[in-house]
Amino acid sequence: MLAILVSIANFIWTWHAKSQSAAADKVQKLETRLDHVEDKQITLEERLKHLPTKDDMGTLALKMEQVLGMVGRQDSEISNMSHNVRRMDDYLREKA
């Protein structure tokens, strides 16, 4: 009878140890995956640090508008200058 009780206890102990080992393996796998995810997160955060922010894009848009305004004014001035040069050319051709 004692042998049967010992064998049952041994069976229960072995089953318990295996289940603990399996649980420990699962925990280890989850920790490994979590470490991998954390590494990816850190990598993404490092990459995102170098990207422009919303404020940077707003500032860039404002600067672009200023540059486009300056180009528009220069276009107008060049057009007026071109008109004056044509008038001078016409005058000089008529006089020659």
Taking residues 75-96, what's their average pLDDT?
A: 92
- The full set of domain ranges for the chain reads 1-51, 52-96
| Overall pTM > 0.85 | no
Residue 43 and residue 35 in contact, taking contact as beta carbons nearer than 8 Å: no
Three-class DSSP labels, 1-33: CHHHHHHHHHHHHHHHHHHHHHHHHHHHHHHHH
What CA–CA distance (Å, rounded) separates 21 from 36?
Answer: 23
Q: Which of 20-24, 58-62, 79-83, 89-93 is predicted with the least confidence, judged by mean pLDDT?
A: 20-24
Give exposure, 42-74, as e/b (b: 16+ Cβ within 10 Å): eeeeeeeeeeeeeeeeeeeeeeeeeeeeeeeee
What CA–CA distance (Å, rounded) separates 29 from 22?
Answer: 11
Q: Report pLDDT digits (tens) over 13-59.
A: 777 777 777 777 888 889 999 999 999 999 999 999 989 999 999 99
Taking residues 79-93, what's their average pLDDT?
A: 93
